[in-house]
Amino acid sequence: MKTKRIFPVAAHAARTVHRRRAGATTTDERDDLAVEEPLEIRVEGRPVAVTMRTPGHDEELAAGFLISEGVISRCDEVRKISSVVNKGRTEPNIIDVKLVRPESVDFARLTRHVFTTSSCGLCGKATIAAVQARCAAIAPDYGPRVEATVLAQLSGTLATAQTVFQRTGGLHAAGLFAADGRLLVVREDVGRHNAVDKVFGHLLLSGKIYPAGAILLVSGRVAFEIVQKALAARIAVVAAISAPTTLAVDFARANGMTLVGFLREGRMNIYAGADRVIG
């Protein structure tokens, strides 16, 4: 499988801001902001989705999106991921995925709704039942067992790795960790579901991370679409710095997953699959 990155990308950019401070003079200053641009994802040259994202790791984002949509599950199903070239000009916000077996894609289902916002990765799903039908539940003996003391330290590790957030304050992050607390990969994006797709795309394209041993941590809240994506990628343990939704909890319980919320300041709430957390 080939990937080809042709153009440079920037995750943050400066803009002028008029700053007012209490008891001080106002000043015009330069401020770093998170970059947000649309990415059109194509499969075999056909547009299937447009998502607002932070440029960078677009190949991983496309692969992760297709994992979440049930189009691919292994790296060897992908023949090539590349930027689109139109009349000799590289299109920086269009990426095309070529598959080994393109005839297996249900384009009618995949293209039913082609626009997702940066805050919601679930837009366009016909029903929750259709999502659940694509993915088998996770067996009780699958997935890592993790010490509670190790789990409690992951939020600090993720925060330290959020380099663009530290400059802008405007990005979500997702990270994959090993059961011993090692950070395996982190990705940042203006959309929380995009950050998750990027780490899952890295998991698939790199072939160096085994989902059965990985823990997903997201920097904000965890809603249904995040847990659904984790199930599609066969990640059994999902944690979040903030709260889960009721549907995320119900979905995790129904599918044999572990779901942890409010993972910060040495504390956590375990909403599902507490048997995978030791101590």
Cβ neighbours of residue 271 under 8 Å, at least 6 residues apart?
244, 248, 249, 252, 253, 259, 260, 261
Q: Which of 75, 120, 123, 135 is catalytic?
A: 120
Name the token pair of 83.
């930027």
| Contact yes or no for 144/237 (Cβ under 8 A) | yes
Active site residue 120: yes
- Supply φ then ψ for residue 262, to 5 degrees: 50, 45
Report the alpha-carbon distance of residue 21 to residue 11 in Å, rounded.
Answer: 27
Q: Which helix (H) or strand (E) holds 198?
A: helix 192-206
> Any idea which residue has 């995790």 for tokens?
252
Active site residues: 120
